[in-house]
Amino acid sequence: MNRRQALKLLLSTGALATMPISFLRAANSITPDRFLIMMSARGGWDVTSICDPKGNVQYATGSEFINRYTTNDIRTAGNLRYAPLPTGTNFDVDWMDYVFQNHGQYMTVINGINCLTGSHAQGSYYFSSGQSFADFPVIGALQAAPYASQMAMPFYAANAHAATGGEVSAVQVNSSNTLNKLLKVNPNQATSIHNMLVTKRKEIIDHLGYNPATVSKAETWRQFKEADISSTNIAKVLDYLPATTSNGTKFQSEFIAALLASGQCAAAAFGNSGGFDTHTNNDARTAQATNNLFDEINHLWNELERHGIASKTTLMIGSEFGRTPWFNNKNGKDHWATGSIILMSKGIPGNRIIGSSNDALKPNKVNPNTLAIDNVNGIEITIQHVHRALRNHLGLQASNLDAKYPIPVESLNLFS
């Protein structure tokens, strides 16, 4: 048994998942019209240091400047605007600049979004699902639910909020070390590990019995019990991985792209390497976190293009909230409810900005039909509007799940 065969065997047992065991089923040849990837910049990003730059403008009369760069320093790529690096910052590659310059034609930036909270927990829920409740299913789960019985891993999540409402089983792998260990598994150990997992699963099922209170959802229990541990569908993913895989979040990107391209997944959510909770030393720390983020974005985008699925994949990048338009006494910035979202896809118009914030970093209102700025008769774009529009874009607006888990706001045409 070679290494590939050993890995296929381990993957088929559900050893991949470090939290819920993956619920493997026989796959039909079915794929969604659109894939979804939610990428969370963990910590609450300072959008004025990224995609909503302000420069040396005052947030209030007599106040300090919002940023420590000038308006003349703001960079552009087509219609897009993005912040410069802080003075004295040097990276081997300025990845934010690289992504805006090379992929900006596929990017839509939505600025001036009311994130509706300054709480990390609620911000994570809002970004992932459009609601503030921990158990409200995330949009990736709703996108994946129709494929629960056709795909090996319909909804994949790693280091991200992944409530499913029992509509689909989320495979959560919160450590890329687990995946890398599987890639390096000793083939001689494969059979014994497989036998151990089969035995262990039977013990778990016998111990739980039919007890929804223990497992939290009866449907999840049913999927667990009926899982086909002999399935080799997930092994198809191996043929889509790069010949040499990466580490950390880049490996997550490779694995997610392979899952989608192989027809074994409909939606994914994962958190990047983080570092955006900058209550101290905001500029330097944000610069490093942003460079890491855009390096990861570029790597993921290249994988989507390599597999030829960048046109049918929507990548939504955002954070729990934004940060204040002023510096605190530790040169940091604290939580602020106004933020931004970056959308990437070859399947939606790019090179555009929707919405804006004013010099106090508060949302400007927009006309709900034209999206033009209208602070008299317009509405604020909230994170719920983004989710409402995203559901429409994914074709969920007429589904039973959309009615079951409503987001009762106006539909804004953010994707066309």
- Per-residue pLDDT for 6 more than 90? no
Provide mean pLDDT across the span 306-327. Answer: 98
Q: How many CB atoms lie within 10 A of CB 334?
A: 16
Q: CB of 141 within 8 A of CB of 167?
A: yes
- Per-residue pLDDT for 200 more than 90? no
% of the chain beyond a pLDDT of 70: 77
**Tokens standing for residue 113:** 């979004």
- Per-residue pLDDT for 182 more than 80? no
- Per-residue pLDDT for 345 more than 80? yes
Provide mean pLDDT across the span 172-184. Answer: 55
Q: CB of 83 within 8 A of CB of 56?
A: no
Q: What is the pLDDT of residue 202?
A: 58
Provide mean pLDDT across the span 311-337. Answer: 98
Q: How many CB atoms lie within 10 A of CB 330?
A: 12
% of the chain beyond a pLDDT of 90: 69
**Tokens standing for residue 101:** 């310059």
- Per-residue pLDDT for 1 more than 50? no
Q: What is the pLDDT of residue 386?
A: 98
Q: What is the pLDDT of residue 233?
A: 56
Nearest one of 258, 71, 34, 49 to 146, comparing CA atoms? 34
- Per-residue pLDDT for 187 more than 60? no
**Tokens standing for residue 88:** 């004295």
pTM score, whole prediction: 0.85
Residues 65-123 pLDDT 10s: 999 999 999 999 999 999 999 999 999 999 999 999 999 999 999 999 999 999 999 99
Provide mean pLDDT across the span 270-299. Answer: 96
**Tokens standing for residue 181:** 């260990």
Q: Could you tell me which residue, 25 or 188, shows the higher pLDDT?
A: 188
Provide mean pLDDT across the span 333-347. Answer: 98
- Straight-line distance from the first to the last Cα atom of the chain, in angstroms, rounded to the nearest whole number: 50
Query: How does residue 152 score in pLDDT terms, banded at 50, 70 and 90?
Result: confident
Q: What is the pLDDT of residue 244?
A: 86
Q: Could you tell me which residue, 8 or 285, shows the higher pLDDT?
A: 285
Q: What is the pLDDT of residue 126?
A: 98
Q: What is the pLDDT of residue 335?
A: 98
How many Å apart are CA 364 and CA 344, to the nearest integer? 23
- Per-residue pLDDT for 21 more than 80? no
**Is residue 282 classed exposed, middle or buried when 0-12, 13-18 and 19+ CB atoms within 10 A define those classes?**
buried
Nearest one of 187, 163, 161 to 174, comparing CA atoms? 161
User: For every residue of 177-223, which 3-state class applies, written as one string?
Assistant: HHHHHHHCCCHHHHHHHHHHHHHHHHHHHHHHCCCHHHHCCHHHHHH
Query: How does residue 228 score in pLDDT terms, banded at 50, 70 and 90?
Result: very low
- Per-residue pLDDT for 210 more than 90? no
- Per-residue pLDDT for 139 more than 90? yes
- Mean residue pLDDT of the chain comes to 85
Q: How many CB atoms lie within 10 A of CB 228?
A: 14
